[in-house]
Structure 1
Amino acid sequence: MGQAASVPTDKTRKLEVIDAGFSRTGTLSYAYALERLLNGPVHHTATQLLNREDEYCKKWNQVYRYRREGDHPELLKALSGVFAGFVGATDVTAIDFIPELIELYPEVQVILVTRDQEAWWKSFKTVAENAGSKAMGYIMMPLPGARWFVDTARGFFEA
C-alpha cells in the first residue's frame, strides 16, 4: 500500500467495503485503515495502477473499453478479475463501477467520504488536469505497469 501495491494472495476473498469518496478525499488513508480492519488487501487506484505489473494495469484499459462498448457481461467478468482477492476498494476505479460491483458482490458495504468542496477542488484540480495528458503519457511510457495509467485515467472521465 502507498509505494507498494497490495497484491491479493487469496483470490477467494470477496470485496467487503467500497469507499465511494472521490480522489483527494482521504482515499489512501481509508485504504490503509481498511487493510487493518478487514485484514486483507485493499485496492487503491493510484497505488495499484502506478505500482503493479504491466499485465494487471493493462487489464484496466480493457475494463473501461467494455464500459464504453456497453458489453455488460464482459465488463462484469473483467471487474471480477481485477478485484479478485481484494477486501476493500477506494478511489476512482471503485467509484466508477459501484453499480457493477454491487451486482458482483451484493453484500458489499459502501461508505461515502466527503470533503469541503473548495478545498477538494484546489487539491484535485492539478491531478485532473494532468492525469490524462499527452505529456504524462510520454513520461510514463517506459515504466512497466504505470505506462497504462494515462489511457486508463482517460476512462475515469468518461465513466
Structure 2
Amino acid sequence: MITIFFATQTGNAEESAENLLKHLTEGGLTARTKTLYDYQAGKLAEEQVALFVVSTFGDGEPPDDAIPFYAGLQTLAEGSLPGLKYAVFALGDKCYDEFCKFGRDIDAQLGRLGAERILATEECDLDQDVKLPPWADQLIPLLAEKAGAV
C-alpha cells in the first residue's frame, strides 16, 4: 500500500495530496491519503511506501498539524526504517529564507532512519499544480517497480 501523508497550514498540501492520489490511481497503483495530524512517527515501520506532501509554515517550521509527528520522527533510532521507501513533495514560499525547509527536514530525517528515497524532493512555490503531474509521472513506474505494483 502506498500512503500519501500530508501536512498543511492553509490546505494547499492537502489539495496536492489528493491530486497525487488521483494521478497514482490513474496510473494503476493503490494508494490512500492520510494527515500527519494524528499519525505516530513510530508507525512508519509498518508502511511500505510513504509519500510526503508537506508545506512549510513561517520561517522553516512544520505546519501546526505536523509538529507532533515531526517531534516523534526525531526520536526514532538511527537506521530504524530500513524497509520504508519514500519521496517528498514540498510546498513553500520563496519570500522566506527557509524555503521548503520542512520538506528538506523530512527527507533528511528519513535518510537518517535508513529509509530509501525513490525520487528527489520536489520543491514548489505556488507552482505545485504545474510541478505535481510530471513528478507523479516519474513516481508511477518507480513505485510499480519498487513496490511490486502495490
Structure showing the higher helix proportion among its residues: 1
* TM-score (norm: length of structure 2): 0.33
Answer 1 or 2: which has greater strand percent: 2
Relative contact order (alpha carbons < 8 A, sep ≥ 6): 1 or 2 greater?
1
